[in-house]
Structures are given as structure tokens and as C-alpha cells.
Amino acid sequence: MTWVFWLSALVVLYVYAGYPLLAAVWGKTRDRRPRKRRFEPGSWPTLSIIVAARNEAARLPGRVANLLDQEYPGPREIIVVSDGSTDDPARALARFDARVRLIEVPSGGKPLALNAGVAAARGDVLVFADARQRFAPGALIELASNFADPQVGGATGELILDCELNPAAAPSVGDGVGLYWKYEKRLRRAESRIWSTMGATGAIYALRRSLWQPLPATALLDDVLAPMRAVLAGFRVVFDETAVAYDRASTDAATESRRKTRTLAGNYQILALEPRLLLPFVNPVWLQYVSHKVGRLVVPWALIGLLISSAALANDGWLYAAALVLQLLFYGLAALGAWLDRRDGQRMTMKIKFPLGETR
């Protein structure tokens, strides 16, 4: 049981403290930021902006206007793929010019909708966006400028959540999510400087069209699978904090739990879809991938192992007893957090002002 305790403690500490520290130091000592620059006039890549949407007719006009309002010196096209929508997206998009195309496909899920959008795309660089979020001014120029570096295969922007802008107004779970998201972005920044991030943010990322491979219909995380395939092909995916999108955090624990379940199920699934990620001589960011993505899958089991082994060893020494008390305190606090979430969820109505207007 002693080895279970120490192994579990080591895994939790390494994934949440040791690796982020290692990445921060590594990123500082071997800072390889991309050679990002503005293209010469007339040589900006053509952008194909793809928005996959299902029953988002109410949001689409605002979203498309936001994409058309973006300053960008090169050509762009916007492809909205309606995934079996029944709310008449054609009518919602009727007022836009020929730069906006609507493709209607039978309901098959987001991966197939994205495949259809990419198949219709003519641009050199694909930009992926969702209907709900908004891009901040200049986001397209910033994203595209990264592709001046031939080693860059993809670029992901920074998604800012409402609870980061206004933590006091966020509901209970939003507070924790905001803090977690900040931690996650710090890690991405370090990984980007080392070589590449371990995926992208679905709300704002761009990829060279030549690197796109059609997604399987059941893929859960297009924004990890597609970028990681680019990394396996020898390119890097960089995190660019100057390309910004805004979104809302989950407003209750149940929504956040569903979102995280999907994300973590997706991380398991990617290992089955791309087992090459686990091979150190094939995956150029193997250590980072295993420490970051695989680590997050291992930690829950390590937490269970730590709790059980601490309880079993509590009478064998003060250290194990102290570890048990600390864990019980922590889970007690989490229970308090759950109670706060339930209480706040019942009585709180969120009114958060967005920097770029409401998104829903």
C-alpha cells in the first residue's frame, strides 16, 4: 500500500505542479516563439472561415457580421455549415453578400459538418469558429500572421471567459472554471514557446488547409485531433494571445460537468484514434503530451489511490495521517463549494456585460 500512496502522490504533484513548472522553465530557457510577421500587401493568405452550427439561426447574423467586420487585408470566405438545422438558417443569412456561403448537410454531428465545410473551402488557411463566441478586432490578422513562419501549421487564439473579466458576477462554478482556464492558458503559452500546444481552442483556431485530414464522424474533440495531426506531420501549433475571442463560462455545475465529460472522453478517444501520440520517437511533443493530456486522465485514479492508501496507512505514521486529514479537508471544502453552487444557482441571475455585445 505504501507504493500506491507515493506513486499516486507523485502523479498528482507532477501533473498539476511539477510539469507546469518544468514547462515554464523550459519555455523561458528555450523560447522559440514563431517568426510571426505581417504579410506583404497582396500576399496575405486567403482565409476560409468555417462555422458549424445546428439551430443557431438567432445567433448566426450577429456572428457572421462579427466575422465580416474583422479587418483583414487578404481575401476571405465564410462558410456556414448547417448540421441538420430546422430553424431556417438560409433566411437568417439571406442579407449577406457572396462572401458568405451556406452549406446544409443532414444532421451528422460537428465532425461531419466540419468535413463538409473544409471540402467546400478554397482558402489557404482554415479558420474555425463557433456560432456563440465573438472575435475581438484584429483577431484574423493576428492569427494569419503566424503562418508567415513556414514551421507553423496551426495557430490558436485566446478565449476569454466572462468570469475572467468579472469574477464577482460569476456563479460558483464559474469562479473555479475561470481560475482553471487561466492556469490552462499559462501552460499552453509555455508549451507554445517550447514547440507546440497540445491542441487548440475550438472557438478560435486556424490550420493550413494542406494539413487537414477528414475527421471521423464520432470524433469528440476536433480542436485537439486536427492540430495534433499537424504536429505529428512535423508542424507546430502556436498559441497567440493577441488573437482573442470571447465566450461565457458554464453557469452551473451540471453544464460544466457535461462539458468536461465530453472533453475528457475525447482525450481518451484521441489515444485510440491517434495512438502514434504515445510513441516518443514519432510524437515530437511526446513528453508534453503525456504530462499534460494523458496526465489529466491518470490523475482521477491517482486521487482515488491516494485517498484509499492514506486511510489504510493512517495508523502507520503521522505523514499518512496528515495526508488523510488534508484530503478530507479538501473534499469537505469541495462539498461546501457544491452547496454554494446549488444555492447560488437557485437565486442568481447573471448579468454580465460583454466587451463586444451579448453572445446569446
Partner 1 sequence: MMLRRIARVAFTFVVMNLSAITGLAALRRGREVWR
By CB under 8 A, name the binding residues for partner 1: 109-110, 172-173, 175-177, 179-180, 218-220, 253, 256-258, 260-269, 296-297, 299-301, 303, 330-331, 333-338, 340-341
Q: How far is the CB of 321 from partner 1 (least distance, A)?
A: 21
Cβ-proximal residues to 333 (8 Å cutoff; 6+ apart), any chain = none
Q: Which is nearer to partner 1, 94 or 335 (CB)?
A: 335
Q: How far is the CB of 309 from partner 1 (least distance, A)?
A: 17
Q: Which is nearer to partner 1, 169 or 299 (CB)?
A: 299
CA 146 to chain centre: 18
Report the b/e string of 160-183 with b at 16+ CB within 10 A.
Answer: bbbbbebeeebbbbbbbbbeebee
Q: Which is nearer to partner 1, 69 or 184 (CB)?
A: 184
Q: Which is nearer to partner 1, 74 or 174 (CB)?
A: 174
Contact 251, 174 (CB under 8 A): yes
Q: Which is nearer to partner 1, 139 or 306 (CB)?
A: 306
Contact 197, 156 (CB under 8 A): yes
Q: How far is the CB of 117 from partner 1 (least distance, A)?
A: 17
Q: How far is the CB of 64 from partner 1 (least distance, A)?
A: 24
SS3 of 152, please? Answer: strand
Report the b/e string of 15-27 with b at 16+ CB within 10 A.
Answer: beeebbebbbebb
Q: Which is nearer to partner 1, 92 or 163 (CB)?
A: 163
Q: How far is the CB of 82 from partner 1 (least distance, A)?
A: 15
Q: How far is the CB of 346 from partner 1 (least distance, A)?
A: 16
Q: How far is the CB of 111 from partner 1 (least distance, A)?
A: 8
How far are the Cα atoms of 56, 67, 161, 170 from residue 133, in angstroms, in the given order?
12, 11, 10, 18
333 exposure class (CB count in 10 Å sphere: 0-12, 13-18, 19+): exposed
CA 243 to chain centre: 14
Contact 158, 165 (CB under 8 A): no
Residue written as grid cell 485566446:
158
Q: Which is nearer to partner 1, 151 or 327 (CB)?
A: 327
Spatial separation of the C-alpha atoms in residues 281 and 29, rounded to whole Å: 23
